[in-house]
Structure 1
Amino acid sequence: MTRMRALRSGLLACAMAVAAFAGPVSGQGVGVRAYLSPGNTVAVGRPFVLNVEIAGTQSLTEEPQVPDLGSFAQYLGSSTQSSMQMVNGQTSVSLTVQYRFQALREGTFEIPAFEVAAGGAMHTTEPLTVMISSTPQPSGQSGGAGGDGGIPARDLFVTAEATKTRVRDGEPFVVEYRIWTLVDVSSFNFTRVPEPQGFWVEDVTPAGQPQVEQLTRNGRSYTTAVIRRVALVPSGPGEKTLDPVALEVQVRVRRSDPFGDFFGNPFGASVVPTAILSNPLTVSVAPLPPGRPEPFSGVVGRLTITATIDRDSVDANEAVTLTVRASGEGNIRAVPAPVLGLPPDFEVFPPEISESVEPFGPGLSGEKTFEYVLIPRAPGNREIPAITMGYFDERAGAYRTASTGALALEVTGVAGEGPGDVARGGVAQLREDIRFIRLGAGTLQARDRPLFAGAAFWMLALLPLVGVAGAVAVRRQRDLLEGDVAYARGRRASRVAKKRLAEARLLAAGTDARPFYAEVARALRGLVADRLNLAEAGLQSTELDQRLGARGVPEGTVAEVRACLEHCDRQRFAPLGIDPHEKERFLDRVGDVMTALDKAIRR
């Protein structure tokens, strides 16, 4: 074991020595090309890689301006690889930036040419064509395994299953997304969650870690867990389709290559990113029959309503609380505020509304509460009328009406002033607003005092010395900034980052999300690079984690920096429809992360 470590250390030292000897490569011009791997043809749900290879250099002036592929592919992540070769005494180097995507829909698509800044010049790639095959992803099959590992589709997949596929308009149902695996999964994340069109959606995924269990499917025993659960309520009749969700799963695989084991992971395992896609779902939504009662609650299921008051006797002009509760099965959130039908001598304030829903059987159940404050203005035996609401009983296939009983209220005392009456009173003068003017003038006394005894004299006398000291300090600071690049970058890091965030805020109102997220990523990545004196272009997540961890930045802050950068990348390469308010919230989040990062590095 000791000899193996020594041999490995020796080989690494030799590689570093060769790199140092090579230095800047002379005689090798900088060239750029783009290509797809594993090829130009890919199946729906399978991953592919857009490679940007820069020959003749191992550094980038700025990140390549990769075009938007969001119409047919989902961005998964990026990485960089560098290489150096010596052939017949000639040294050549190259840098490859790899952008991983997942194919989403069938067709032939063009990736247009784009520019790459390298070697002090702008280079343009050739356009590429990617053909996504029409091979559908059957239920229970993976969207595909990508990368080094060759994971079969039947060994890792995600399914989408609905509790109902034939429902009424307004009838809730639940969709579960479940991952099935025969391989060692270390982590996963959703890379694409389409917004269902024509549905009201509520996430009802249980809090905490997914519950793992062993289930048999098609004769094979899988490790499985529900990773997402959503309740959906259709907002109109017709055939509706739920598009697949996309995941990237990190899979641990053992390598059979002894040289790969020797130079790589000493335990013979590596993590392979694998893209998978769920099956689409089609739901048939039937309209509600005619003849709905008014007022209609919008509930399709079961509904019960009750009404109570906190006391049955009250003085005129005193408040009483009326509580109306609607509960049952269905979309209880849709229940509107009830019509009370109170006499005109009742003053009614807007209700306080609270609600709670949870999955129940194939749909939802819940409760919605309305609390009204009522003020009767006239005495007498009053009555709060019964409250009625219509709903559709899905089991019986007919409309029903839920109602409360009338409530008796005894109002005592005498009739009071209405809400528009104003009590009148006299105006009392409490204090005089302006003090009287003093008529007698004070006396002035002259003081004989030497000029040098005053503070002003000494301030003027010392001013030249202060000026000279200030000039010396400014000169030293300027020399330090010009001579120490790392110090200069660290000094201006916060100022430059704030300026970039301000520019991003101006871009937030635009319809194209890409410039906004590119500027935010530039601000955050630039802050890290300036603080740590690193090259901004090509700064990857792994290097970022290691560098920040070495500077003592807390793991939570490092994870938040990485999450913000990954979110920017996803929106830049496959932008979804983001409203300006979401952009503002993201700007605030990035601002907080930058503040925490600055404090941690400066400690």
Structure 2
Amino acid sequence: SLSILNGVMEQSYSFRWVYQPLQEGAAQLGSTSVIVGGKVFETEKIDISVVPQSQRPPRAARQSTRRLDPFSSLFRSPFDSVEPVEDAPPDPTDLFIRAIPSDRSVVQNEQVTIEYQLFFREGVQLRQSRLTDSWDAEGFWREELEVETRPIPQIVIENGKRYNKIVLKRAAVFPTRTGTLTVDSLRIESEAVFPFRSSDPFQLFSLRSSYRPVKLASPAVTIESTPLPPDAPASFTGAVGSYQLKTQIDRTILDVGGSIQFIVTISGTGNLATLDAPDFSPPTAFELYDPQISTRLTRSGRRLSGSKSFTYVMVPRANGTFVLPGVEFSHYDPASGVYRSERSNPIEVIVTGTAPTPLAATATTNGLPVDDVAPPIDDAGRWVSVSQTSLHESPWVYGSLLLPMLLLGLTLIYQRHQNRLVADVRYARKRRANPLAKKHLRKAKLLLDSGTKIEYFGELERAVLGFLGNRLNIAERGLTRSQLISQLAEAGVDETLRRRVQTLLELCDRGRFVAGTFEKDDLEKAFEEAASLIVESDLALGKLS
């Protein structure tokens, strides 16, 4: 087969220089020398006459070494062997792929759009084109952009020649680290037919297929990723692009024990998939649950855009008038080269109704309840002897007397629990650690069964991080892996368990970037390890506390 890589036809060891004339007239290419096996080989000088494009002579076909019979195909017997006719190989400039990045020097996490264009000369026909291997971009977060599935070739002029051009692929890549990064070549295999160049004029009417296999590859794309500028705002978490912040709440008046939804929406252009939830801390009278996240991406055009929403559900545990603080979001705008911050306005919420309170009884100085003193009996009445058990000898009487005290004690314990949930954040997070972890694990199990690998690893990470954050009473968002491991060490967790936590979190990181490399067994093992770590961490932290 014929192999054409990066615009060079690979059939033998060869060196090719492409010259573009700047003006008409006579020119000369100097000789070139190479050393092979200690010997020096030198080419001859070449005289060239540069003429206008309209006067360009037709390219001579490659001549066969055998004697040609122009009428042989008319009188050939069907039992005669057919000798192949040697056609001139296609020029590498007849068919090639070009990779065009939108920029070659960006800051970390800034979007670069790479477009792969296929150029082919008039008369070249293609069929059965396909990718030969997986296109990779190590060091980048990548998102596919939409292209036409049945494109119509566009006629363009390149170096004075007419070409048909179609867009093969368009992708948005975001460098996740600094340095010089490389995007692999896009490689395809196809079958092509080139303009017929046989020396036999009657071969034009032959039914033999003239398609031949070809391999094409675009040049690799090198991108320089530079660090972000210093002095970033405190609320900056790595977002790069152009974004807008919007907040809304479903209601501002509710009863104690009801629920409200506070929605934070970030929209714009950039890597929306990796945006972290903004920091939101309502008053302690509200019980806050982890946000529900939804992402909508627009892949049409040359830029990745869309929106990402974080829905916080809160339940008030006390009445009164409260102010929900504004949410601040910061991002780096590469177009202007500055950090930009937006902050939403505070929202006033009115909570009505009453929270559960302990039952209270007002007693007299003698210890008897008010309004429960019977008047003196002035009539002895008529006494009747009965054979029933005496009242003071019945156990049900004492049980009924103890029942109000028992109910009062349970009410006091429940109220103390509710008050502690509002006032003691550490206690509240510890109490909800296990239910939230089980919730995330159930969701991860559903994602595992549906084969959604990237969201599965994200949910698995939230289950472990959320559990450890609640048990340790730390904000797990924004913590680095080393800081989290240090917190576990300070809490007295043994080194073996800490290493297992770190290994699982690193596995989740890899799973979100290269989810395609994980099999079903790997996903199930990761799920079992996460569940085991939550149980063992709970036991370890419970013993230490």
Q: Give 1 or 2 for the bigger CA radius of gyration.
A: 2
TM-score (norm 2): 0.48
Q: Which has the higher strand share?
A: 1
TM-score (norm 1): 0.44
